[in-house]
Amino acid sequence: MKLIVGLGNPGSQYEKTRHNIGFVIIDALADRLGVSLNQSKFKGIYGTYHYKGEKIVLLKPLTYMNLSGESIVPLMDYFNIEDEDLLVIYDDLDLPVGKIRLRQKGSAGGHNGIKSTIAHLGSQNFNRLRIGIDRPVNGMSVPDYVLGRFSKEDQGELDKVISACVEACETWFDKPFLEVMNKFN
């Protein structure tokens, strides 16, 4: 069994913001797989997909970014999902728009959603898919920047990123995560 989590903030005011790119990827993956995110439990909404006898759960925590672990870990406990079968998708200020990076483990790198996940899981050993959103310019604060929307210029790159992320997730259904990393990094 696998769990794919997209991090973001609930509410229409946060839709399509840089910080909600994880939600965007989960929605795109759910659309591609024909999965309805219609189950509300574990402080989130989720849906399940069956692939070659394996259940795959897609989750959008509704706890707000800084408390993401409060949704992820209870769902993992309920379904008895191992750490290595977790993939968390989130925004990364240290990557340019259009770049993605997959990792098997590591620190939070300053990301509060990952900090919460590590704290609740008690481990840094889980898979991540980081999506570049770049850093703010012209003195804009980080909170204002991440809660802002992508520019029209970035939209073309974003469409490619969404497609690549969905493909990476689908590749993980069949391949070890290390192979997925080698293909998409």
Sign of the four-CA dihedral 136, 26, 4, 185: negative
- Return d(Cα 86, Cα 54) in angstroms, integer: 14
Tokens of 160: 């490619």
- Is 19 assigned a catalytic role? yes
Token code pair at residue 185: 């990094």
- Return d(Cα 14, Cα 7) in angstroms, integer: 12
Sequence length of the chain is 185
DSSP assignments along 46-88, one per residue: EEEEEETTEEEEEEEE-S-GGGTHHHHHHHHHHHT--GGGEEE
Torsional sign, CA 9, 152, 131, 87: positive
Strands (DSSP E) found in the chain: 2-6, 39-41, 44-51, 54-61, 86-92, 100-103, 127-132
List the structure tokens of 74. 């209870």
Q: Which of 19, 50, 111, 120 is catalytic?
A: 19
Active site residues: 19
